[in-house]
Structure 1
Amino acid sequence: MAAPARFRDARTSVGRYARSGAAEQMRRALGHYVRSGYGGSATMGRRLNGTSRTAARLGAVLQPGTQPDLTAARDAAIAGGKNAQSVLDAIVEAIRPVDGTQDAEASRRAVRDALSDVLDRYPEADLLDLDDTQRKFVVERFVGLDVYNRFCLDLGQKLDEHAASASIAAARFAEVREYIAATVAAAFDKLWASGVTPASPDLARVTQGALRETFRVFEEYLE
């Protein structure tokens, strides 16, 4: 059972951040979000098992020459003239099919945004033939965006309500998005340096470790 008012402290800090834009309040909001909202870094890491499983599937599907699930994606891309939109649609469908839940929709959006972001960072990238650096970027970016999307589901309304204008709210959301993504990327950097790759058979477990490290960092903001 969820604790009563479990997001109360996080909402208070989010409201203060929305009004002031103070980075300290954003960090405190993330700390309370993990600690009281989800019961700590270890518990929140376990709650995001779906994120870890999707990250592992994303890493596997994007491996060149070993991804039978991308046959349909490749066929759809060719039928659509191999334009980026048709490739994005096909890969998202292969990795996270629609099931009508909020979690699935949030994950689908995170997959799509991560693939779009890799094209922004590497304009010459071929989504059906990414190199190792590009695959690492997509995996860590997806995880960061999926955490951000969950944050928005839980606390986004509070941020919207307390921002002085729509443009300020958008700027605040963008700052939280990049802050979470950067923290997740830093956790993955340690794992990539240890020899882990997106092709690792235990990528789901590895992703769990990156999530726990990210949430531990957030909790430390309260100390």
Structure 2
Amino acid sequence: MVPSWVDNPPPEAPQGDDATAQDDTDGEGDAAKVPTPPAVPLAPDRRWLGVRRSLGDFASSGDTGKLRTGFGRYARDGYGGSRTAARRMGSTAATAGALGSALDALAAGQPIEPGSPLDPALLAGRSVDEIMDAVVEAVRPVDGTQDAEASRAAIRDALAELLTRFPNADLLGLTPEQREFTIERFTAHDVFRRFDLDVGQSIREKAPNVTTGLARLKQARDYVKETVAAAFRKLREGGKAFTAGRVSAVVRDALRETFDVFEGYAE
């Protein structure tokens, strides 16, 4: 099955390298509203079978090798390989771009657009929770899909983790380092939440008990966070930075690198 947020490709849609050319181009800038992800190939039949088997073995035994194999099959079998997986996560990159634009505007003391709820003048004196809610609403409005709810939760998780890492951070004036950290953590949380929506139930069902199941899910989340952090670190070392208008492009590259790592563990 294809996730609800993925558009079916037209019959003449290009395949292979030509189909991914659009991913490698930069737009004029990251829009405040999340654009529709590009069309991608249809998902293969029974794609989750091997993934669920590996994750079930991990849930029952705690074998981290089975966890890595599960992620490998998730990328290879579930999404048809790392390149296609990164394209299917196109809304993650788009939302990251919108989040980056929002945080940049707040730091500059300017609203994203006239009448925006993220006008710093309107948010002055508001509580941290109120500012976080405003960011979530502006970046990823409710649209009734599980996808949107996962991304909204991922934004809030990223902001909460930011405040844990930088206790004195001012959400209305984040430093470049703090904004980059937020984008990185959003990406990790969004990848994990989509993984959880797709196949997380296999871990819950096969774990010996609820407590163990939650612990296994945390292990999976931590693995995603570590892999995504390593992907961003590799890109930074290669000279790819979060310059204005390039957040979505950098996140797409990080997603591709992340799923490359996942796919390397497929058996």
Please indicate the TM-score interval, normalised by the length of the shorter structure: over 0.9
Whether the 8 Å CA contact 1:92–1:108 is kept in 2: the answer is: yes
Match runs of 1:20-59 below 5 Å: 20-59=61-100
State the Cα distance separating 1:11 from its structure 2 match. Answer: 0.2
Q: Structure 1: which amino acid aligns with 2:91?
A: G
Partner of 1:72: 117
Q: Which runs of 5+ in 1 are unaligned?
A: none
Partner of 1:209: 253
* 2:111 alignment partner, SS class: coil
State the Cα distance separating 1:212 from its structure 2 match. Answer: 0.7
Partner of 1:179: 223
State the Cα distance separating 1:149 from its structure 2 match. Answer: 0.4
Per-residue CA distance 1:21-67 (angstroms, 9 max, x = gap): 11100000000000000000000001111000111111121112165
Per-residue CA distance 1:59-99 (angstroms, 9 max, x = gap): 12111216523852335544xx4211101100111111111
> Which of 80, 85, 102 is matched with 1:61 structurally?
102
Aligned positions, number: 221
* 2:108 alignment partner, SS class: coil
How does the TM-score come out when normalised to structure 1?
0.93
In 2, Cα distance between equivalents of 1:149 and 1:32:
17
Match runs of 1:1-223 below 5 Å: 1-63=42-104, 64-65=107-108, 67-69=110-112, 72-73=117-118, 74=120, 77-78=123-124, 81-222=125-266
How does the TM-score come out when normalised to structure 2?
0.79
What RMSD over aligned residues (CA atoms) do the two structures have, in Å?
A: 1.6
Whether the 8 Å CA contact 1:55–1:207 is kept in 2: the answer is: yes
Q: Structure 2: which amino acid aligns with 1:46?
A: R
Whether the 8 Å CA contact 1:145–1:177 is kept in 2: the answer is: yes
Percentage identity across aligned positions?
A: 46
State the Cα distance separating 1:141 from its structure 2 match. Answer: 0.4
Higher helix share: 1
Partner of 2:28: none
Whether the 8 Å CA contact 1:144–1:181 is kept in 2: the answer is: yes
* 2:99 alignment partner, SS class: helix
State the Cα distance separating 1:191 from its structure 2 match. Answer: 2.1
